[in-house]
Amino acid sequence: MKIATCSHRPVLVPCNLKNFEYQIDPYIGCQHYCYYCYVLNQAETDWTREIQIYDDVSGQLSKELARILPQTIYLGYYTDPYQPLESEYCQTRQVLELLLESGFSASILTKSDLVVRDIDILQQMQDAKVSVSVAFQEDLDRQRFEDNTPKTDARVAALKQLKLAGVRTGALICPVFPMISDAKALFAMLADLTETIWVYGLSIDDPSDRNWQNIREILSTHYPALQKEIEAAVFAKSHPFWVRLREELVGLGRSYPIDLHIHL
Ligand code: SF4
């Protein structure tokens, strides 16, 4: 894996998400390399060979932050801020240290339990939030679709640790693979640990996209008996699988004091 540095692009960039004006992705590329990742379709480099980090992330970001008012910055929109490289390069920790020092806060999305390392910083921020994303109840399924990520159990344990430490938490059940992901079981694992759960399906813009080609290959190798039915459901929101799942999740959501957002 080549680690390249870049200094030509801004660290702080405008964010399209509701409630956030700016986002930061401390890494360009993602070592987790989930085969279904929609960002793979736009990736400038092959993430299995090269990830880019900022030449001087703190120096560059401190100048960029000086131009805006303190606010909450979103981390993890395009790439995971706690991918394995973070243990060594600490780009995310440097960003958080600077945000705290400058009066900003952070809302983080990750698939990694490494985030608990930074609880000390998050506790000091005004209203920091960490959301953890999970897609598979069964570890064999996780390995087939996102082998480089931490296990689901480790992510759920991280969420618990964050909550106990007083950091606000959220969770994404994403992406739900029809007939493979057990979204109801994942909901049950998460519901007591978080104030908000979002549920999303796969993000496939075009069947020729790289992520869909990856998924098809995995389905034909490991789930040949289900492939046809899964493919039919992925491209039809009216498929009985989604209709039933939406109803079941709405029912489950009523049993918990939770803010549930179903985007299926
Ligand atoms: S962790 Fe997120 S950004 Fe990284 S490869 Fe997986 S889906 Fe893509």
Instruction: Express each pLDDT in 139-176 by its tens digit.
Output: 999 999 999 999 999 999 999 999 999 999 999 999 99
* Index of the ligand 1 atom closest to the CA of residue 30: 4
Residue 228 has a pLDDT of: 96
Domain count, the chain: 1
Residue 7 has pLDDT above 90, yes or no: no
Strands (E), the chain: 2-6, 12-14, 22-24, 27-28, 50-54, 72-75, 105-110, 129-134, 168-176, 196-201, 259-263
What's the rounded mean pLDDT across residues 190-216?
94
Q: How far is the CA of 71 from the centre of ligand 1 (A)?
A: 25
80 close to ligand 1 (CB < 6 Angstrom): yes
79, 149, 151, 174: which to mutate for ligand 1, most atoms within 8 A of CB? 79
Q: Which residues contact 90 (CB under 8 A, 6 or more apart)?
A: none
What's the rounded mean pLDDT across residues 229-246?
94
Q: Compute how many other C-beta atoms are within 10 angstroms of the C-beta atom of residue 120.
A: 12
Structure tokens at 12: 């702080």
CATH code of residue 12: 3.20.20.70
CA–CA gap between residue 236 and residue 251 (Å, rounded): 22
Q: What is the mean pLDDT of the chain?
A: 96
Residue 73 has a pLDDT of: 98
Note down the domain range covering 231. 2-263
CA–CA gap between residue 231 and residue 234 (Å, rounded): 5
Q: What's the gap between Cα 214 and its chain centre?
A: 19
Burial class of residue 130 in the structure, from the number of CB atoms within 10 Å of its CB (0-12 exposed, 13-18 middle, 19+ buried): buried
Strand partners for 109: 131
111 close to ligand 1 (CB < 6 Angstrom): yes
Which residue, 90, 81, 127, 120, is CA-closest to 106? 127
33 close to ligand 1 (CB < 6 Angstrom): yes
Residues 47-103: tens digit of each pLDDT: 999 999 999 999 999 999 999 999 999 999 999 999 999 999 999 999 999 999 999
27 close to ligand 1 (CB < 6 Angstrom): no
Residue 113 has a pLDDT of: 98
Q: Compute how many other C-beta atoms are within 10 angstroms of the C-beta atom of residue 247.
A: 10
Interior CA angle at 174 toward 169 and 175, to 5°?
A: 175
* Residue 206 binned pLDDT confidence (cut-offs 50, 70, 90): confident
* Residue 205 binned pLDDT confidence (cut-offs 50, 70, 90): confident
Q: How far is the CA of 81 from the centre of ligand 1 (A)?
A: 10
Q: Whose Cα sits closest to atom 6 in ligand 1?
A: 34
Q: How far is the CA of 91 from the centre of ligand 1 (A)?
A: 17
Residue 22 has pLDDT above 90, yes or no: yes
- C-alpha neighbours within 13 Å on the C-beta side of residue 261: 10
